[in-house]
Structure 1
Amino acid sequence: MCRHLGYVGPPASVGELLLRGPHSLRTQSWAPRDMRGGGTVNADGFGVAWWGPEPAAVTRYRNPDPIWTDPAVEEVLPRLTSRAVLGSVRSATVGMPVQRSSCAPFLWDRWAFSHNGVIPQWRTALTAVLSDLDVAATRAGMTRRYETSHLLEAEALTDSAALWVLLRRLLDPDTPAGLAEDPGTALRLLVTTVLHHTPDARLNLLIGDGRALWASTCYHSLSALVTDDLAILSSEPYDDDPRWQSLPDRVVVHAEPGRLHVEPLEPAESTTGGRDA
């Protein structure tokens, strides 16, 4: 499937983060070490988002061609610096379009989003998920509810783009408020609802707002490198730094400089609760 990376820390070169280490995100595009469930290369496009001095200002660059063919990665993006970056390389699911609008990161407001995975029969599954969210909104007494037409807001005809429509509504405090009190709750609610309808979905989601990162693991790999100064979440470690931590399957992660918090995707299954690392 895909590979992605999120960074929050001291100002860093946007392009350098895509190239950092002997097993950089760019290298992972053609030589991944832990691709699960099919695919050997991530050659169906890439993208990167970065935040300005004000975290609400987020910009992105995307290309439907392989990352190793784009000279901007070495000639332009290294000249840009940011305290927060989210990058992704794509391996398109068979039948889904290979075009710029299909490439993560997807943006909304101050948020950037990437999905590593696949949702089988995604149109049917996500319509059912949307219906469940509508029922939950109704029970909560909300007047602004989820409607099937909202899926038409998706930027591309892909499971990832449609999934982002649902997630960004959970992140929006106004449409509708109350279903998700924080980004971790939004990820948990969305992922568990999708799994209810499609148990074999693969749902490694990654979001950032310029200050912190949140992620879910469901089937695919994810590692974390967190110090007092920076936080990085990556599908695969880009170097041999011993501080990398391999994260377990089916968890929700919150990472920011000096803090890594990991909770089970379904807390009821755990007797220990969350942990900070």
Structure 2
Amino acid sequence: MCRHLAYLGGELPLGALLFDPPYGLVRQSWAPRRQRYGTVNADGFGIGWYAPGDERPARYRRAGPIWADENLADLARVVRTRALLAAVRSATAGCAPGEAAAAPFAAGRLLFSHNGALPGWPERYGPLAATLPPADLMALEARSDSALLWALLLARLRTGAELGEALADTVREAAKYGDARLNLLVTDGTSIAATAWGDTLFHRSGPGVVVASEPYDDGPGWAEVPDRTLLLAGPAGVALHPIDRAGPAPAAQESARPGRTEEESDRPAPGSGRPTREDDSP
């Protein structure tokens, strides 16, 4: 399992979300309070954030535990952002190690993280992987369950699906192959989409919005997302929609609707396209 967090709101230093809270993501790497599977998240970490005037996020990822990075505290003290997605990793058995396997994954404006596991990986999920075009499989950033889910999500976006619909469909499809844990988290820098499926997910609003595997403090305002739920968050608030195993995901409300993955310079007319395969790698 893993722990992850996304933030949208006023400009903050990275450390205000990662280091400063009493139970922030750094502490969750070695002492999570709500983690149901695994005990330590020491198999890598990553931070993705959006700089002013640049829609494409920057990333900082490492293969080791977040507490062992001697440079991160200084970076997190001075780098500021209005939107962030960060994760600490506990690798699924059979998945590749290394920096390339650490979330967040990126494509165009999107950042992606997976908190969960595909039990029986990789043997049980061969048929799921076979639903992707060979070129997509060859382009996987890492040999891992999370990278496969990311590729499946991108493939659905390229068909014209909205992000909330694509997230829910990806979860439904992966759940057919076993008792998967599928908490997915995505941001485009202006909105957040997430699923709760098999593990904890919380959100808090005002000022800004935070979506996280678990609360990073004991302050008021945290609300737990029910299992098998799609969350859509934006400047106007948070919307929750049950994920029916058989039915379609509800359409995203305009006020909490995540944007496209294309870069601004290459974006087609509204509603006319989704990311090309070249956008699938950072």
TM-score scaled by length of structure 2? 0.83
Mark the runs of 5 or more structure 2 residues left unpaired by the alignment.
257-282
SS in 2 for 1:203: strand
User: Structure 1 CA distance, aligned partners of 2:198 and 2:118?
Assistant: 12
Of residues 187, 191, 206, the one that matches 1:208 is 187
SS in 1 for 2:176: helix
Deviation at 1:77, TM superposition (A): 2.4
Cross-structure match for 1:239: 217
Which AA in structure 2 matches 1:52? A
User: Superposition pairs for residues 66-81 of structure 1, below 5 Å?
Assistant: 66-81=65-80
Which AA in structure 2 matches 1:13? P
- The alpha-carbon distance between structure 1 residues 66 and 130, as it changes in their structure 2 partners (threshold 3 A), is closer
SS in 2 for 1:21: coil
SS in 2 for 1:56: coil
Which AA in structure 2 matches 1:24? G
User: Structure 2 CA distance, aligned partners of 1:126 and 1:111?
Assistant: 25
SS in 2 for 1:76: helix
Q: Is 1:226 aligned to 2:205, yes or no?
A: yes
Of residues 165, 173, 190, the one that matches 1:193 is 173
SS in 2 for 1:210: coil
SS in 2 for 1:164: helix
Once superposed, which parts of structure 1, at least 4 consecutive aligned residues long, lie more than 3 Å away?
Answer: 121-127, 129-132, 273-277
**Conserved 8 A contact 1:126-1:163:** no
Cross-structure match for 2:6: 6
Which AA in structure 1 matches 2:186? I
Deviation by residue 1:171-197 (Cα, 9 ceiling, x = unmatched)? 3xxx3x33x1x1110101110011122
Q: What root-mean-square deviation, in Å, do the aligned CA atoms of Structure 1 and Structure 2 show?
A: 2.5
**Conserved 8 A contact 1:56-1:110:** yes
**Conserved 8 A contact 2:232-2:252:** no
Which AA in structure 1 matches 2:183? N
Which AA in structure 2 matches 1:100? E
User: Structure 2 CA distance, aligned partners of 1:263 and 1:218?
Assistant: 12
- The alpha-carbon distance between structure 1 residues 109 and 202, as it changes in their structure 2 partners (threshold 3 A), is same
Percent identical pairs in the alignment equals: 40
Mark the runs of 5 or more structure 1 residues left unpaired by the alignment.
133-145
Deviation by residue 1:99-154 (Cα, 9 ceiling, x = unmatched)? 1111000011000000001112444555533555xxxxxxxxxxxxx514412211
Cross-structure match for 2:28: 28
Of residues 140, 150, 153, the one that matches 1:154 is 140
Deviation at 1:35, TM superposition (A): 1.5
Cross-structure match for 1:255: 233
Cross-structure match for 1:139: none
User: Structure 1 CA distance, aligned partners of 2:35 and 2:41?
Assistant: 10
Cross-structure match for 1:19: 19
Q: Is 1:118 aligned to 2:117, yes or no?
A: yes
User: Structure 1 CA distance, aligned partners of 2:80 and 2:49?
Assistant: 8
User: Structure 2 CA distance, aligned partners of 1:236 and 1:118?
Assistant: 17
User: Structure 2 CA distance, aligned partners of 1:274 and 1:153?
Assistant: 29
TM-score scaled by length of structure 1? 0.84
**Conserved 8 A contact 1:232-1:255:** no
Deviation at 1:52, TM superposition (A): 1.9
SS in 2 for 1:225: strand
Cross-structure match for 1:59: 58
Which AA in structure 1 matches 2:187? G
Which AA in structure 1 matches 2:205? V
What is the aligned length? 254
**Conserved 8 A contact 1:6-1:234:** yes
User: Superposition pairs for residues 100-119 of structure 1, below 5 Å?
Assistant: 100-119=99-118
Deviation at 1:46, TM superposition (A): 0.6
User: Structure 2 CA distance, aligned partners of 1:210 and 1:274?
Assistant: 16
